[in-house]
Amino acid sequence: MKAFARLLERLAFTAGRNAKLTILAHYFAATPDPDRGWALAALTGGLDLRQVSPSLLRRLAGERMDAQLFALSYDFVGDLAETISLIWPEATTSGPEVTLSDAVALLRDTGKLALPAAIAQVLDRMTPPERLAFLKLATGNMRVGLSARLARVALAQGSAAQDSARSVEEIEEIWHGLTPPYTALFDWLAGGARPEAAAAAPFRPVMLSTPITPSELAALDPADYIAEWKWDGIRVQAVSEGGMRRLYSRTGEDIGAAFPDLLDALNFEGAVDGELLIRRDGDVAPFADLQKRLGRKLVSKAMLQSHPASLRLYDILTWQGEDLRALPLQDRRARLQAADFDSDRIDLSPLLPFTTWQDLTTLRAAPPAQVIEGVMIKRRTAPYVAGRPRGPWFKWKRDPMVIDAVLLYAQSGHGKRSGFYSDFTFGVWDGPDLVPVGKAYFGFTDEELKELDRFVRKNTTQRYGPVRQLAPLLVVEVAFEGLNLSTRHKAGLAMRFPRISRIRWDKPAAEADHLDTLRTML
C-alpha cells in the first residue's frame, strides 16, 4: 500500500500532464502484478468494491479516540478520510505490509457485518499515508484529477521504454475486453502475447481531424474531398455486436448507461461513428440540453421524454461481421447509405453539395441550424485510421463568439509558466457588479503573458492562498466556441473553450460587455 499511497499523493498535487505521465509510468514499471493492475483499475474507475459509508468511518473513529478531539481535528482538516488517517492511533501490531491487493480483496469480499472490524484491523497496520489511500479506496473517492485516457497514455509510454511500443490506440482497442488486475495487459505491454479481445462490442480507436485555415484549404483540390456539417453534440461510437450494445465516447469511455433510449435503438449488427444529439421532432436541440443527460447514472422517465437522444452518423467501421475500416471513405459512405438502421433515432449526417471552396465558404457562413459548429472536410480515398493524422480529415470551425470581459482573479501556472500569473478568471457586468463568467489559460503569446503577469502583480487587491484578486481594470477579448447553461457558475452560464484572443489595454473596464449580451448568445 506504500507505493500506491505515494502514487496517489503525488498525483493529487501534480498539475502538469507530463509530470503525471512520468509518475504513472514509473509506478507501473516499479510495481509488481497484481498491485499495479488494481491501481490502474482504481484510477480509471474500474473497481467495483463495497463502498464504506462516512457514518461507519465516524463510528470507527469514535471507538478509538475522544469525540471532542476528533471533532476539533475534523474541523481543522476538513476531510473525513484524511482526518481519520492522521488521527488513527499509531500502529501497534507490526507485520507484513498490507498490499493493495489485500485491500481490494478485503473491500470486495468482506461481508457487511464483518467489515467494520476488518477495516479497523487493517488501519492498525498502516502508516498515515497508507491509511488515507485505503480510506479513499474504501469510500470510492480517489479524486486525483486523472482521466482513464491519461492512464492509458502512460501505459503506452511505458511500453515504448521497454522496446515493445504499443500505441494508446492499440491499448484502447482491447481495453474494454480486459478486467482488473489487467495482468494480460501488462504482459502484452512488456512484449507478451496480445490479449484476445474478449469483450463483445469492443471499442475501435477513433479517427480525429486537425484544424485547417482558408489559405491552407486553397491548396487542396475540392474534387478530392467530401464535406459535411460538424454537429455540436458528442462524438460517439455506437457498437452493437453479438447481442451486446455499447455507446463509447471518443476516448473509449462507455457512456451507455446515461443513454438507455439510444441503446434500445441500436437494432443493427456493426460499429458506427457519429454524433450524439438531443433531437425533438427532427430539430436538434442545443448542446446544453445534451449536457443535462450526461454523467447520470439513472435517467428519469421525464428526462427520456423531454430530452430524447439520437445519433447522427458520419461513418461505418464494421457491418455484419465485416471490418470496413481499410476501405476508402467514399466506399464506406456508400455502405453507410446502403445500411438499414431501422430506427427513427438514427439518421445520416448529410453531405454538403459543393464544387469549389467558395461554395463551401458560403455554406459555412450560413449553417441551417444553431447546433452546427463548422464543417468537416474529408478526403475521399482515406481509410479509417486511429488517431489524429494530419491530412485526411480537417475541421473548419465557424468563427468563435467573442465578448469583452474584465480580468478579476489570477493564479500562477505551472510547467513552463511557473511563477507567471497565467490562469485568469474573467467577468462581465451585471448591473453595477462584475460577475465571473469563466476562466482562460491560453490564447496569449509569451510576450503577452509577461505583460499580464506584470499587470497582475501591480494590481492585486487581495490574496487568497495562491489566488490574487485584481483591481477590475483590464479588459480582454475572450473567444469561445459556445455557451451552456450551468448551475455551477454564479452567472448561470459556462463557456466552451474560452481563451483570451486579445488584450484590450485601450478599453476602459466600464465598456466591457454585460451579462445580458452573453445571455442573448445562448
Partner 1 sequence: MRAEDILYPTEMGLYCAPGDFYIDPLRPVPRALVTHGHADHARPGNAAVMATRQTLEIMAIRYGEDFTASRQIAEGTTRLGGVTVSFHPAGHVLGSAQILITPDNGPRILVSGDYCRAPNPVCLPFEPVACDIFITEATFGLPVFRHPDPIAEAARLLASMAEFPDRPHLVGAYALGKAQRVIALARAAGHHAPIAIHGALKRLCDYHVEQGIDLGPLVSATDPGDAQLILAPPSAFASPWVQRFRDPVIAYASGWMTVRARARQRGVELPLVISDHVDWPQLTATITELAPQEVWITHGTEDGLLRWCEIQGIAARPLRLVGYEDEPE
Task: Provide, rounded to whole angstroms, the least separation between the CB of residue 420 and partner 1.
Answer: 6
Answer yes or no whether residue 369 interacts with partner 1 by CB under 8 A: no
Measured from the CB atom, the residue of 81 and 479 that comes closer to partner 1 is 81
Rounded to whole angstroms, the Cα distance separating 63 from 158 reads 45
Task: Provide, rounded to whole angstroms, the least separation between the CB of residue 80 and partner 1.
Answer: 12
- By CB under 8 A, name the one of 32, 51, 53, 72 that touches partner 1: 72
Measured from the CB atom, the residue of 141 and 358 that comes closer to partner 1 is 141
- By CB under 8 A, name the one of 16, 140, 383, 400 that touches partner 1: 16
Rounded to whole angstroms, the Cα distance separating 454 from 391 reads 41
Check residue 307 and report its DSSP letter.
Answer: S
493 within 8 A of 287, measured Cβ to Cβ:
no
Check residue 413 and report its DSSP letter.
Answer: B
Answer yes or no whether residue 106 interacts with partner 1 by CB under 8 A: no
Instruction: State the first-to-last Cα distance of the chain, in angstroms, to the nearest integer.
Output: 49
Choose among 345, 482, 470: nearest CA to 403.
482
C-alpha cell at 184: 494480460
- By CB under 8 A, name the one of 56, 80, 86, 372 that touches partner 1: 86
- By CB under 8 A, name the one of 353, 465, 510, 520 that touches partner 1: 465
* 520 SS3 class: helix
Answer yes or no whether residue 124 interacts with partner 1 by CB under 8 A: no
Which of 68-76, 156-164, 273-281, 348-356 is the region at the interface with partner 1 (rule: CB under 8 A)? Answer: 68-76
Task: Provide, rounded to whole angstroms, the least separation between the CB of residue 141 and partner 1.
Answer: 13
- How far is residue 20 from each of residues 35, 147, 206, measured CA to CA in Å? 19, 11, 24
Q: Determine how β-strand 499-504 pairs with β-strand 493-496.
A: unpaired
Tell which positions 404-463 bind partner 1, by CB under 8 A.
411-412, 414-416, 418-420, 453, 457
Choose among 516, 383, 502: nearest CA to 440.
502
- By CB under 8 A, name the one of 29, 48, 66, 337 that touches partner 1: 66
Rounded to whole angstroms, the Cα distance separating 320 from 263 reads 18
467 within 8 A of 410, measured Cβ to Cβ:
yes
Measured from the CB atom, the residue of 411 and 459 that comes closer to partner 1 is 411
Answer yes or no whether residue 79 interacts with partner 1 by CB under 8 A: yes
The label of the residue with cell 471499442 reads: 203
Answer yes or no whether residue 466 interacts with partner 1 by CB under 8 A: yes
| Residues contributing to the site for partner 1 (CB under 8 A) | 10, 12-16, 19, 22-23, 26, 65-66, 68-69, 72-73, 76-79, 82-83, 86-87, 90, 128, 411-412, 414-416, 418-420, 453, 457, 465-466
